[in-house]
Amino acid sequence: MTTVNGVAVPSSSTLDRALESLLQSSQQTNTMLAQLAGEMRAMNEQLFHRSGVQAPLPGIGNPPPVPPSKVAPPGQETWAQPQQERQQGKCAEIGITKTRNLNKWKINFYMYGINKPASFYARDGYEQVLRFIGEVWPEANADLFSEERFNDRNKETRDRNPDRVHEDRYTVAPFLIEFTDSAPKQMENGMKISFRYAERVRPL
């Protein structure tokens, strides 16, 4: 130890020893941290059963990617996406109408105690409807799907209310219907609407 202007200054050899001691201590600390990190990785792999895959440590690296099936479509990030679980109702009234653009036949099934009907859309003409309902309404025939009669009645309906499409309703022997509700869809007017689809009809 030497003195400069009355101030004690450690000699170079003393300073070298202090730096060497500090360096050794730092290396020991790094070794302990590396060992600790290895132990945490091993525990994570065991806990999450990710054999062969390095589990991320808390606060280290990027978070695991979200599976594509869990990512909401653009514009629907806050929407709930309900599963399409089949439900069942008892029906005794059938409505025959058309879609709003009048290019497809649409069948409404009105159920006891359920205020919203389930609908079946005929993509391949009324023959598809007859096949769908034949088991529960064998009396149904092509006359129910007369284009000329529907157009006449629909004109009368729209003269009274331009927003409505004509519908003929028929009471039949009660039967069971299975249906699903779609996820909400946003319409042009901003409203979210869930559609109810008829999946299957069968006798009681």
**pLDDT tens for the 204 residues of the chain, in order:** 555 555 555 566 776 777 777 777 767 666 666 565 555 555 444 444 434 444 444 444 444 444 444 444 444 433 444 457 899 999 999 999 999 999 999 999 999 999 999 999 998 889 999 999 999 999 999 999 999 999 999 999 999 999 999 999 999 999 999 999 998 888 788 888 889 999 999 999
Q: How far apart are CA 157 and CA 148, in angstroms?
A: 14
The reported pTM is 0.58
Q: How many Cβ atoms from other residues are within 10 Å of residue 96's Cβ?
A: 20
E strand or H helix at 171: strand 168-181
The per-residue pLDDT for 44 is 44
Strand 7-9 to 118-122 pairing: unpaired
Q: How many CA atoms lie within 13 A of 90 on its CB side?
A: 5
C-alpha dihedral sign at 20, 21, 26, 30: positive
Which residues sit opposite 197 in a β-bridge?
Answer: 119, 180
The per-residue pLDDT for 180 is 95
